[in-house]
Amino acid sequence: MPFTRRSLFATIAAGAVASQVARSADDSVAIPGKRPMILHNDRPEDLETPVHYFDSWVTPVDVFFVRQHLPRPSKIDPAAYRLTVNGMVSKPLELTLADLQKLPQYTIPATIECTGNGRGFYVPKVPGVQWMRGAIGNAEWRGPRVSDVLKLAGASSSAAFIDTDGADTGLASTPDFVRSLPMNKAMHPATILALSMNGQTPDIHGFPVRLIVPGWDGTSSVKWVVRISATAQANNGFFMNPGYRYPKYALPPGTPAKPAELEVIEGMPVKSTITAPEDQQKIPLAPTTLRGFAWAGENAIERVEVSTDGGSRWRDAQLSPKKLPFAWRLWSLEWTPADPGYYTVMSRATDTAGRVQPIVAPWNPSGYLWNAIDRVGITVEKSA
């Protein structure tokens, strides 16, 4: 091969790519039990699901996203496990895993989404894990109702909240991860202490016992639950205040919130996401299936509309059959592009309460609740 400037450039470019690949491979880590995931943090684990895994209604455990606030506690021996139930109860309890297994078991399909999913889309940038589309998943959670556990303990009718503490603890003086849940949501028949997800008990997802608060932000679903206390007042620790709060009144982007005007986040907004084709993908000029998912916190999804022309015209997408509160619906739309070229594809969901995804997600200082109409750019190429 003659040594031209072009080949020299190509050689340098190839070398640069090779060294980049090598560096990222050397640098990377495997997370036991997980397929390749978008790695935001390996210690503790903050793992995002690449969108190409979102092609099934139930998200497999081996690609389910992970968000840890604190280092994972050492693996809990199921035989040694104890759940303390105390506070405003007539009969404080120390329950074993077998005790929890003896209570009536319920299967709850529910989507769980990190409060900060989509934070990476906000401008100006805000601190926190820069999640894009994949801090979300849908699983079948199974276990006893929290209400049955509270009845067993004789929870006082004047208790207004439960505090839930996980076995994880912060390093140095990092605050402990404790979350407070209003009693009416704690007593909801779908709020359970999950003993499994999709029939498995992965330690990384908070088992042997994980609180599941369907339709609420992911942070409500405390992992490795070791204590539930019935209380009169909401917990005021960092992860309740100022953590996981959202401005009551919308703020100009980039401006701080007034602490007194921040509210606890509860149910999640209506939202849809495009999973195929992926953003900036090239596809041939041929019939193709646009795909994604949509969910609406405590409501069910009523409708998903898709535009292939930047939002000028919209068509209804097909929805997967189960129309449930808490769980997402997959959507799809067959599309035959008329011409080659660049297309802006968008998706917009409407829920059973009539909420519609906005064009602009309200900026907030912690980057929570991103739910703007999703949008990907696709290049359609003439077939050779």
Partner 1 sequence: MRIVILIGAAALAAMAADQATLDRGRKEAGLACTPCHSLRLVESQRLSRAAWNKELDKMSGWGTKITDREALVEYLVANFGDDKPPSPPAMSKDGVPRKQH
Task: Return all residues near 355 (Cβ < 8 A) that are at least 6 apart.
Answer: 269, 270, 296, 299
The nearer residue to partner 1, 92 or 170, going by C-beta atoms, is 170
Structure tokens at 46: 């903050």
The nearer residue to partner 1, 40 or 245, going by C-beta atoms, is 40
To partner 1, the closest distance from the beta carbon of 307 in angstroms equals 26
The nearer residue to partner 1, 50 or 78, going by C-beta atoms, is 50
The nearer residue to partner 1, 7 or 24, going by C-beta atoms, is 24
Site of tokens 């007042």: 233
Residue 280: which of 379, 380, 132 has the closest Cα? 379
Report the distance separating Cα 11 and Cα 372, nearest Å. Answer: 43
Contact between residue 368 and residue 116 where contact means Cβ atoms under 8 Å apart: yes
Site of tokens 């470019």: 13
Report the distance separating Cα 22 and Cα 149, nearest Å. Answer: 52
The nearer residue to partner 1, 33 or 311, going by C-beta atoms, is 33
Provide the binding-site residues for partner 1, judged by CB under 8 A. Answer: 24-25, 27-44, 46-48, 50, 62, 71, 120, 124-127, 129-130, 132, 170-175
DSSP symbol at 254: T
To partner 1, the closest distance from the beta carbon of 71 in angstroms equals 8
To partner 1, the closest distance from the beta carbon of 64 in angstroms equals 12
Report the distance separating Cα 384 and Cα 375, nearest Å. Answer: 28
To partner 1, the closest distance from the beta carbon of 125 in angstroms equals 5
Beta bridge partners of 139: 110
The nearer residue to partner 1, 302 or 374, going by C-beta atoms, is 374
Residue 223: which of 185, 166, 175 has the closest Cα? 166
To partner 1, the closest distance from the beta carbon of 104 in angstroms equals 32
To partner 1, the closest distance from the beta carbon of 205 in angstroms equals 14
